């Protein structure tokens, strides 16, 4: 094999490896044109129902029987019991496509949720590492996807409380809402 053929072959192999490693990823914060759940997230959400606040109000007992999954923007964080954080969440819907600043560059895409909220849920979450403390910790304005069971207890404001068994976190400015569609495209 000539030097040139070996170089081209090596470049093609490298490109193939990078393209395969990017498949199904989108990175930690899901920078891809469509939402890409992480492997642990797929496992955690298997069999869980998407939270519906209207149906929860109508049939709270049936919603307490299994796992529920939802996206929420953090509007408050306090210490919860047993080393958890108590998060007040403005429930949002995941948009079918993520918004991107450049349609040819996946790194410019951001997970996109509705700009309108669909109720409030409180979640008790055992935060880990930099999600608990640090520059990119869960705080007001963060987006989380939580999976867990809704308890019989409600907060002082009458909203349901979830005990999360899984969460995924996007710090403020690492996701967008549909309101950003004017400056970003799909």
Nearest to 169 by CA among 140, 134, 145: 145
- What is the C-alpha to C-alpha distance for residues 167 and 146, in angstroms, rounded to an integer? 4
Q: Are strands 120-125 and 85-92 parallel, antiparallel or unpaired?
A: antiparallel
CA distance readout (Å), 72 to 78, 96, 176: 16, 16, 12
- What is the C-alpha to C-alpha distance for residues 131 and 128, in angstroms, rounded to an integer? 6
Q: What phi and psi, each to the nearest 5 degrees, are found at residue 141?
A: 100, -15
130-146 pLDDT per residue, tens: 999 999 999 999 999 99
Per-residue pLDDT for the chain (186 aa), expressed as one digit of tens each?
A: 554 444 334 333 333 333 333 334 578 898 999 999 999 999 999 999 999 999 999 999 999 999 999 999 999 999 998 999 999 999 999 999 999 998 888 999 999 999 999 999 999 999 999 999 999 999 999 999 999 999 987 777 788 999 999 999 999 999 999 999 888 866
Domains of the chain: 26-182 (2.40.50.140)
- What is the C-alpha to C-alpha distance for residues 59 and 61, in angstroms, rounded to an integer? 6
Q: Give the pTM.
A: 0.84
- What is the C-alpha to C-alpha distance for residues 164 and 124, in angstroms, rounded to an integer? 6
47 burial via Cβ count (<10 Å: 0-12, 13-18, 19+)? exposed
């Amino acid at each position: 094999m000539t030097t040139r053929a070996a170089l081209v072959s090596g470049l093609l192999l490298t490109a193939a490896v990078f393209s395969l490693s990017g498949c199904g990823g989108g990175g930690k914060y899901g920078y891809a044109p469509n939402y890409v759940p992480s492997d642990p997230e797929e496992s955690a959400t298997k069999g869980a129902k998407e939270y519906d606040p209207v149906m929860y109000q109508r049939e709270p007992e049936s919603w307490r029987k299994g796992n529920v999954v939802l996206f929420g923007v953090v509007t408050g964080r306090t210490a919860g019991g047993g080393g958890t954080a108590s998060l007040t969440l403005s429930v949002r819907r995941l948009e079918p496509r993520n918004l991107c600043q450049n349609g040819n560059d996946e790194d410019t895409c951001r997970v996109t949720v509705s700009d309108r909220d669909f109720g409030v849920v409180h979640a008790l979450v055992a935060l880990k590492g930099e999600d608990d403390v640090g520059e990119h910790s869960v705080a007001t304005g963060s987006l989380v996807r939580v999976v867990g069971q809704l308890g019989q207890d409600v907060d002082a404001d009458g909203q349901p409380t979830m005990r999360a068994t899984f969460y995924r976190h996007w710090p403020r400015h690492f996701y967008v809402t549909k309101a950003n569609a004017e400056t970003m495209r799909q």
